[in-house]
Structure 1
Amino acid sequence: MAQTPPQQTDPSVRLHSQRWFWKLQLISWLGILVVTFLSLTFWHSSVEWPRFEPGNTLFQCSVAFLLSLLLRPIFDIAWETPIALRTFLYLVAVAVIAGIWTLVRMEMYIRLTGEHSLWSEFGGWYYASLFVFLFWSALYCGVKYYLLLEHEHQKMLEVAAVHEREQIRRLHAEAVAKEAQLKMLRYQLNPHFLFNTLNSINALIRFEQAGEARDMVVRLSQFLRHSLTEDPVQKVSLEQEINAVLLYLEIEKTRFADRLQVELEIPDALKNARVPSMLLQPLAENAVKYAIALNESGGVIKIGARQIEADQPGDPRLELRVCDSGSCEDNPGADAPGQASTGVGLANVRERLSTLYSNNYSLSQEQKDGGMLVRISLPLELPATGAGATTRREVVA
């Protein structure tokens, strides 16, 4: 099947090709001159070396050099034709140029030696000339194809670089959008938390508990200062996240005192696991709001973590649990002030997990022992640590 090579239109490629052509001319004909001198002139005339032999060899190579210049435009014109026609034109051109070079060589040799019977050996002389120009043609076509392949390879690298830059820009844009979304969701928690806490302060003031309200305001400022110093996008260690939850629960203890108890079940081996910041605070807030606040005798909030195995081996996961002891069914109206729900907390947690982990997470709720149990499963991001994990069980009165 006919095949047409790609066109070479780039000026830089043409200039590069010009340089390669003259390098080819210099190296190829200089090499032919040396080989001819060593294999024919010097060896054949080793006994009696005529004085005209070196000059004759140099003259023949000079004529061949000039004749090869005529081949180049023929080759370049035929280069754009189908391969079958191109091969035919190349062979015809080489045959004609080799014939001309043979005639010049024989005529020059006859004039120098006077051997007029040399024409009977035309076939042998022509065969040598044809071999030389076929060799030169192979070099020329090989260099030309090499330049084209090099140019195409460079174009492919440029296209790949453009695609890579586009991909980097797209990934950067996606990262910026994802970061903006995470910041929006993360900062959404502060007004939500502040709304509920101010309602609690309002309830304390209404019941003339000024001291407790003042303590809650002080701890509220500490918690907000802590939350504002954290990067809303970067993950924190589980230990830092637990400390942030405890800081929030200290605010609520101002209101509920001994009615609020907290139990922690956090293995020491998992304290450095990376989790999204402020992930557990909305869950603890819901437990306080819908369990502790509605129960006259208060209750317990349990916060735990453990490592679990996923469906695929070698893919450990982290499970976080927030469980409350529930509320009394016969006292649904207790502490009614401040119980209006904005519906932000759990939805915010789910949206942040979806943004960070795509579909590689789970969040579930279930009733357990009269209370609500919330489970979060996400990839375990844990730095290399030694074995021998122990579980820390802590009760906060």
Structure 2
Amino acid sequence: MNTIALPTTSQSEPRHLFWPLQIGGWCGYFVLNFLVAMGDGRPLNYALVSLSVALCGFATTSVLRLGYRRLWGKPPRVMVPAAALMLVLATVVHMKLHVIITFSHCKDCQIHSVFGYLWYFASALYLLLSWSGLYFGIRLAQQLQQQKEAALRTANAAHAAQLKMLRYQLNPHFLFNTLNAISTLVLDNRRDAAYRMICSLSSFLRHSLESDPEQSVTLAQEVEALELYLGIERVRFGERLSVVVDIDPDTRAARVPSLILQPLVENAIKYAVSTSEAGGRIELVARRDGDMLDLHLRDDGPGIAMATAASGAGVGLANTRERLRLIYGERQHVGITNRETSGADVHLRLPFATNGVA
């Protein structure tokens, strides 16, 4: 099985947690043992016996921990028998020390039968077995937490990679048409127009590559980025392309994913403007509806029927829908309908936020 390397701080956490629990646990054992002795009528100097037994337990389990650490990560068929053997040996050692300390300070505590020794062994085994259970339980819980954190980091990395893939998936038709238009302008000796288109293309590509798909931008910034793309298309289509932006002032500061509108505008130009000799009109409308942001991208083209019939027509819309699903989960909506007159209406409904993506 492949393992995931965790940061040094995460690997050192068990050691940082062990010693406070180890010291606190054996201090509690000392207090409880001493109180039981007082309840049995032992003198106050019996506290030395309780303290000595607790220190022996502290030392025994500290050494036992070293053995358990060496076994951690081994197959269960190796770890379980080895841990059981270590536990029995530690129990014998702790029982022997307990008996020696107790008998040296308490003459009437001595036992004269094998059952008495069995009782000491059983009590020591119960004590160390409980300690071992806590040790392995805490260690396993920490390992599961670290694995969960590693899985979350991996999922976040995959999530970010998927977002970047969707955002950086430029439509090859757009690049092809733009380069073809530039070559046509050069052949027609319209060098100024070709130069403007090259500058617009360079600015748009630079913005596209520099913007982080995981970060949000304001709607005003998104419209500015959209203008970079429209600058390219205006050189191609001239007066055939009409664009109207109708944004409420309240929505200008709303946060949206970067370059979320470009693929939709590209689709509208492809199916509503380029297919018509007279050109077409594209409208971007933004309104706030409570805690939601409504964005409408409308055109006056042939509508959904023609767009969906063409091969690959849904790539831009599908990518947009997938990006929004990854960012917002179920708290978003992407829909496309035919307008009453003519054309299509793409509706995006997103959570309204002004301090980052909701």
When normalised by structure 1's length, the TM-score is 0.56
In structure 2, the partner of 1:375 is 347
In structure 2, the partner of 1:361 is 332
* Structure-1 separation of matches of 2:275 and 2:260: 23
> In the TM superposition, what is the alpha-carbon distance from 1:277 to its structure 2 partner?
1.3
The letter for the 2-side match of 1:164 is: Q
* Structure-1 separation of matches of 2:117 and 2:247: 82
In structure 1, the partner of 2:121 is 77
Instruction: Point out which structure has higher relative CO (alpha carbons under 8 A, 6+ apart).
Output: 1
Q: Percent identical across equivalent pairs?
A: 37
In structure 1, the partner of 2:299 is 324
Aligned-residue Cα RMSD (Å) equals 4.2
* Structure-2 separation of matches of 1:351 and 1:182: 9
In structure 1, the partner of 2:178 is 197
* Structure-1 separation of matches of 2:181 and 2:302: 18
Q: Which runs of structure 2 are paired with 1:18-167 in the superposition (5 Å)?
A: 20=29, 24=33, 28=37, 32-33=42-43, 65-68=106-109, 70=111, 73-79=117-123, 152-167=133-148
> In the TM superposition, what is the alpha-carbon distance from 1:80 to its structure 2 partner?
9.2
Structure 1: give runs of 5+ residues left out of the alignment: 1-11, 36-60, 82-143, 310-315, 333-338, 385-397
* Closer/same/farther in 2, CA of residues 69 and 319 from structure 1, 3 Å limit: farther
- Does the 8 A contact of 2:185 with 2:193 survive in 1? yes
> In the TM superposition, what is the alpha-carbon distance from 1:322 to its structure 2 partner?
0.7
The letter for the 2-side match of 1:372 is: A
SS in 1 for 2:238: helix
Match of 1:248 among 229, 241, 251: 229
* Closer/same/farther in 2, CA of residues 282 and 351 from structure 1, 3 Å limit: same
Residues matched between the structures, number: 269
* Closer/same/farther in 2, CA of residues 383 and 194 from structure 1, 3 Å limit: same
> In the TM superposition, what is the alpha-carbon distance from 1:34 to its structure 2 partner?
5.4
When normalised by structure 2's length, the TM-score is 0.62
In structure 2, the partner of 1:132 is none
SS in 1 for 2:276: coil
In structure 1, the partner of 2:263 is 282
> In the TM superposition, what is the alpha-carbon distance from 1:342 to its structure 2 partner?
7.2
SS in 2 for 1:375: strand
- Does the 8 A contact of 1:201 with 1:216 survive in 2? yes
> In the TM superposition, what is the alpha-carbon distance from 1:74 to its structure 2 partner?
4.3
Q: Which runs of structure 2 are paired with 1:326-365 in the superposition (5 Å)?
A: 326=301, 344-365=315-336
TM-superposition CA deviations, 1:42-97 (whole Å, max 9, x none): xxxxxxxxxxxxxxxxxxx999823335497443334499xxxxxxxxxxxxxxxx
* Closer/same/farther in 2, CA of residues 170 and 300 from structure 1, 3 Å limit: same
In structure 1, the partner of 2:208 is 227
In structure 1, the partner of 2:92 is none
* Structure-1 separation of matches of 2:120 and 2:334: 70
* Closer/same/farther in 2, CA of residues 307 and 159 from structure 1, 3 Å limit: farther
- Does the 8 A contact of 1:292 with 1:327 survive in 2? no
- Does the 8 A contact of 2:242 with 2:280 survive in 1? yes
Structure 2: give runs of 5+ residues left out of the alignment: 1-20, 46-101
* Structure-2 separation of matches of 1:62 and 1:278: 81
> In the TM superposition, what is the alpha-carbon distance from 1:256 to its structure 2 partner?
2.5
Moved more, 375-384 or 259-268: 375-384
> In the TM superposition, what is the alpha-carbon distance from 1:154 to its structure 2 partner?
4.8
Match of 1:302 among 240, 261, 283: 283
SS in 2 for 1:188: coil
* Structure-2 separation of matches of 1:292 and 1:281: 15
* Structure-2 separation of matches of 1:261 and 1:19: 80
- Does the 8 A contact of 2:267 with 2:313 survive in 1? no
* Closer/same/farther in 2, CA of residues 62 and 294 from structure 1, 3 Å limit: closer
SS in 2 for 1:32: coil
